[in-house]
Structure 1
Amino acid sequence: MITLSDVREARERVGDAARHTPLERSRTFSEMSGADVHLKLENFQRTGAFKIRGAMNRIATLSDAEREAGVVTASAGNHAQGVALAADRAGVDATVVMPKFAPVSKVKATRGYGASVRLEGVDYDEAQAYAHRLEREEGRTYVHAFDDPVVMAGQGTLGLEIVDDCPDLDTVVVPIGGGGLISGVAVAIKEQLPDVRVVGVQAEGAASAGESLKKGEVHEIDSVDTIADGIATRSVGEQTLEVMSAYVDEVVTVDDREIALALTLLLERSKTLVEGAGAVALAAVLSDAFKYDDDETIVAALCGGNIDLNRLGTVIRRGLVQMGRYLKITIDLKDRPGELERVSSIVARTGANVYAVHHDRTSRDVAVNAAELELELETDDAEHAADIVDALEADGYEVEILS
């Protein structure tokens, strides 16, 4: 079990490498939620995520023999970059095993920080198994992404900053993957402000933490499937579970639609880019995943900003769907001159902007004398999208909403 002293000692070790990231009140999200919402902008951290804190602390405590042999780790991306940079600064050779489908941007960044990268396995857990094999074969020290008290203490330095910058907080909301971040943060905050509520947030497609806490033992799920790849682990750790059981008040779950919406709102309203895992804490606040009072001071930890650009467009599109700002529909038309113009005029009257059009007369699902029209529309909000569908149906068209 880590202590507040462990976290404070970690701050002395990681201070030169890890930035004290901003904590800012959000007027937008305070108005949307009714609470007093503050954002811990850890997406501005060096390497783009909190992981540099734990990695730096762990590598700083290596013995001379361990430094000489080098380190190895497994990561979906953020821990990989943290270990790579920390090892490079300490002059330690590092090998990082990442899943084959890890975001390209995170793979390139890890190599850019000086680590040797191997792509193995379909997810974090398979990559971890291969990394442990290298640990045995090459005599390297394994730097665990979360289930290590030294790593947890390093991550807890984020909690010290929250207390320093927002001593009057009532609730802190922290993402949960393996549990390293929330363990360190919870100890750092609860040991100083015991009345503060610590809420953990897991993604629906990687929801092992809540069940583990209920059972009192590590619960491993069969697979993970979420846009929040930074917290996509099959289970929490044995040691992190012990800390969470003692310090975490509540664990809630958000789905990918809620995560995408929070990510999109952060980008549009706060001009802040985060990855999926970085958006889950705010998603929990905005979706009312847990109860809170009006004017309650809530700090949401935006734990990372390393989103792959290939994925960003897809996530934003999902967020726009949730906001009612994007509508994709299909309509069956009579295959005769003027039908497309007729539909276009209806859409134009509603004030929607056409993003894309696909007109298909050859689909097997369409009658010989008909055509299928697929429209992608930019809309103002959910009410506007509903008005468009109503206008088309009022003119006799059968509309199928695709998204």
Structure 2
Amino acid sequence: MQKLFKDILTSRVYEAAIETTLDKAEALSLSTGNTILLKREDQQPVFSFKLRGAYNKLAHLSQAEKQKGVITASAGNHAQGVAFAARRLGMKALIVMPATTPAIKIEAVERMGGSVRLHGNNYSEAAEYATKLTRETGMIHVHPFDDEMVIAGQGTIADELLRQNPGQLDAIFVPVGGGGLIAGIALYIKTLRPEVEIIGVEPLDSCAMHNSLKKGERVSLDTVGIFADGVAVRQVGEKTYNICRKYVDRIITVTTDELCSGMKAVYQATRSIVEPAGGLGMTGLIKYIKETHCKEKVLIAINSGANMNFERLRYVAERTVIGEHQEALFAVKIPEKPGSLKTFCMDLVGERNITEFNYRLASRNSAHIFVGISVRNSEERQAFGQQLTKAGYENQDITDNDLAKTHIRYMVGGKSDAVQNERLFRFWFPETPGALTRFLEATKGNHNISLFHYRAQGGDFGRVLIGLECPEGKDAGLEEKLNSLGYRYKEETDNPAYTLFL
């Protein structure tokens, strides 16, 4: 650990990276009674902290190693960091990216002088291929996080923090993927200021470090969430895990809705738009304040990057109000008779603002409503549900139902009497040409498509809802066919939102 601390102090990152600012979130500080600061790694030339570690690794290679060139696997910020650093040092850089990588990211790497090789449908497959190419070509492999020189480069952020804020400092909130960023920051801070809390922040659906620290050994996730793609890692590094086990105080996990709310908080504080992974630090910080009710603390959130697709902003905005507990979603059954809809709106909704209203006749006796209501907090959301029940309305709170939020709210239409033995699946399709064709080819035969919904959200993966008719006696091989695709999926046949509205 002493060597790594020295490596941070002797890092060569400033030959390419800049010392980013530490900005105060004035309004948020005032409203919470704490001093909240943002470390602006979105200011780097590649809009991400990844340049620090990549450049430090490449700069410390021997002359003979530099002549061989470098190779890495990445679909995001690390790829750009390596390409930028290699060009600055006059080296060849080969970047293996999944075939599902959007063109905008491929073009960004090529503009920085990197050569791109597409392989596989995900990072793991690309990484395996990069390792194979490393053996065949003799090029130097640059791991995105589990490398001491990479960790040391990221650790220079901690050195800047202590110089920029030499006084009171209570906690630092750090986004966590493979662990390179938090390992470098934690080691440096705990060596000099052991009283400062180091708190990692992970998405609830990509919490490899949280699970590893809890179990006491590195674990591998079966699936990882794709919204915060910058931290979508199945398994953390061996080196990073060992450092975090010793120096990290705790890991906070956050939902997608909470993360969208955190991204909005960063925007309000800086007028900068961060990528989902970049908003994790602020999201964890806000959650920490809510849970601990702390006052007069000095808290720092690391804004790790801002490589955000503009098209994703619509999705972020829609989910933010739920993340801030300002919208509640309910499925309500009302009697199908004249005046019932008016009674529902006047007597129950009252002065509340309706954010969404979908109505579908279910039978001659009843109708189903998908309704969104503006609320001030979780308590008001619960009170509205109790009010519905007291008034005799069958209802379900579906605010936390991801199927309802991602698909159902856009396609309320009722059931078809023609559909038989339908099973419902949610898929994460790679946003590449031919993804649907591959699905159709894999499922051809006995399974008729009875429902299909897709809505572009600006990510690497598209969220798709598909209904399949499964005739009796011809269903045994369906899961085998779906698994052969390699697409992530989840069955939703028993989801109450589907049962009510589709």
* Range of TM-score over shorter length: 0.7 to 0.9
CA offset digits 1:329-348 (Å, max 9, x no partner):
45556667877677777799
Q: Contact conserved, 1:32 with 1:286, CA < 8 A, in 2?
A: no
Residue 26, structure 1, aligned to residue 22, structure 2: no
Is this contact kept in 2: 1:353–1:379, CA < 8 A?
A: no
Q: Which moved more, 1:99-108 or 1:250-259?
A: 99-108
User: 1:234 maps to which residue?
Assistant: 234
More displaced stretch, 59-68 vs 377-386: 377-386
1:214/1:336 CA distance change after superposition, 3 Å? closer
User: Residue in 1 aligned with 2:71?
Assistant: 72
Q: Which residue identity lines up with residue 163 of structure 2 in the other structure?
A: D
For residues 270-281 of structure 1, what are the structure 2 equivalents within 5 Å? 270-281=270-281
Q: Does the alignment pair 1:316 with 2:312?
A: no
Q: Secondary structure at the match of 1:252?
A: strand
- Residue equivalent to 2:221: 221
For residue 298 of structure 1, report the CA deviation from its aligned partner.
Answer: 1.6
Distance in 2 between residues matched to 1:123 and 1:325, nearest whole Å: 35
Contact 1:317-1:326 within 8 A present in 2 as well: no
SS in 2 for 1:210: helix
Partner of 1:93: 92
Query: In structure 2, what is the equivalent of residue 262 of structure 1?
Result: 262
Is the 1:203–1:255 Cα contact (8 Å) retained in structure 2? yes
Deviates more, 1:383-392 or 1:92-101: 383-392
Shift of 1:163: 0.8
* Conservation of the 8 A alpha-carbon contact between 1:43 and 1:303: yes
**Which range moved further: 271-280 or 290-299?**
290-299
1:66-89 Cα shifts (integer Å, max 9, x gaps): 333321111241111111211222
CA RMSD of aligned residues (A): 3.3
Distance in 2, Cα, partners of 1:348 & 1:224: 38
Q: Is 1:187 aligned to residue 187 of structure 2?
A: yes
Question: Which amino acid is 2:53 matched to?
Answer: G
User: Which residue in the other structure is 1:288 paired with?
Assistant: 288
Deviations 1:340-386, CA, capped at 9 Å, x for gaps: 677777799626265x654545xxxx115655454556667667777
Higher relative contact order (CA 8 A, sep 6+): 1
Cα distance in structure 2, aligned partners of 1:400 and 1:250: 35
Once the two structures are overlaid, the 10-residue window that deviates more, 13-22 or 112-121, is: 112-121
Contact 1:35–1:292 (CA under 8 A) maintained in structure 2: no
* Cα displacement (A) at 1:162: 0.6
CA shift at 1:104, angstroms? Answer: 5.7
Whether 1:134 and 2:97 are equivalent positions in the alignment is no
Give, in whole Å, the separation in 1 of the partners of 2:157 and 2:81: 15
Q: Does 1:250 align with 2:250?
A: yes
Deviations 1:196-250 (A, max 9, x none): 2222223322222234345554322222125222112122212222322333233
Deviation readout 1:120-148 (Å, 9 max, x if unpaired): 34443332112111212222211110111
Match of 1:9 in 2: 10
Pairs within 5 Å for 1:370-381: 372-375=368-371
Q: Distance in 2 between matches of 1:131 and 1:387?
A: 55
8 Å contact kept, 1:323–1:382: no
1:37-68, CA deviations, whole angstroms, 9 ceiling, x for partnerless residues? 21112122221210000011111122333333
Contact 2:259/2:323, CA 8 A, preserved across alignment: no
Structure 1 distance, partners of 2:133, 2:387, is 63
Matched-pair contact (CA < 8 Å) for 2:26–2:269: no
Question: 2: CA distance between counterparts of 1:386 and 1:199?
Answer: 31
SS of residue paired to 2:125: helix
List runs of 5+ in structure 2 lacking aligned partners.
400-502
Greater mean alpha carbon deviation, residues 187-196 or residues 372-381: 372-381
Deviation, structure 1 residue 154: 0.7
* Helix, strand or coil at the partner of 2:145: coil
My pick for the range that moved more, 215-224 or 343-352, is: 343-352
Is the contact made by 2:172 and 2:196 (CA closer than 8 Å) also made in structure 1?
A: yes
CA contact (8 A) 1:264 1:320 kept: no
Structure 1 residue identity aligned to 2:173: V
Moved more, 209-218 or 310-319: 209-218
Any unmatched runs of 5+ in structure 1?
Answer: none
Q: Matches of 2:191 and 2:154 in 1, distance apart?
A: 15
Q: Give the Cα separation in 2 of the matches to 1:43 and 1:295.
A: 27
- The 1:175/1:155 distance shift into structure 2, 3 A limit, reads same
Question: Would you say 1:367 and 2:374 are equivalent positions?
Answer: no
Q: Is the 8 A contact 1:226 1:256 kept in 2?
A: no
> In 2, Cα distance between the equivalents of 1:266 and 1:332?
39
Give the equivalent residue in structure 1 for 2:302: 301
The CA deviation string for residues 5-34 of structure 1, in whole angstroms up to 9 with x for no partner, is 211221xx2213212111122233334544
TM-score, normalization by structure 1? 0.84
CA contact (8 A) 2:258 2:324 kept: no
Structure 1 residue 293: Cα displacement: 4.6
Q: For residues 136 and 314 of structure 1, do their structure 2 counterparts lie closer, same or farther at Cα, with a shift above 3 Å needed?
A: same
Distance 2:246 2:384 in 1: 52
SS of residue matched to 2:195: coil
Residues 172 and 198, structure 2, Cα contact 8 Å, conserved in 1: yes
Counterpart of 1:301 in structure 2: which amino acid? I
Q: Which residue of 1 aligns with 2:176?
A: 176
Distance 1:257 1:322 in 2: 4
Deviation at 1:299, TM superposition (A): 1.2
**Contact 2:265–2:282 under 8 Å retained in 1:** no
How far apart in 1 are the matches of 2:380 and 2:76? 39
For 1:131 and 1:155, the matched residues in 2 are separated by 23
CA distance 1:26–1:69, shift in 2 (3 Å): same
* Worse-matched range after superposition: 245-254 or 302-311: 245-254
Question: Hey, what does 2:113 align to over in structure 1?
Answer: 114
Q: Secondary structure at the match of 2:227?
A: coil
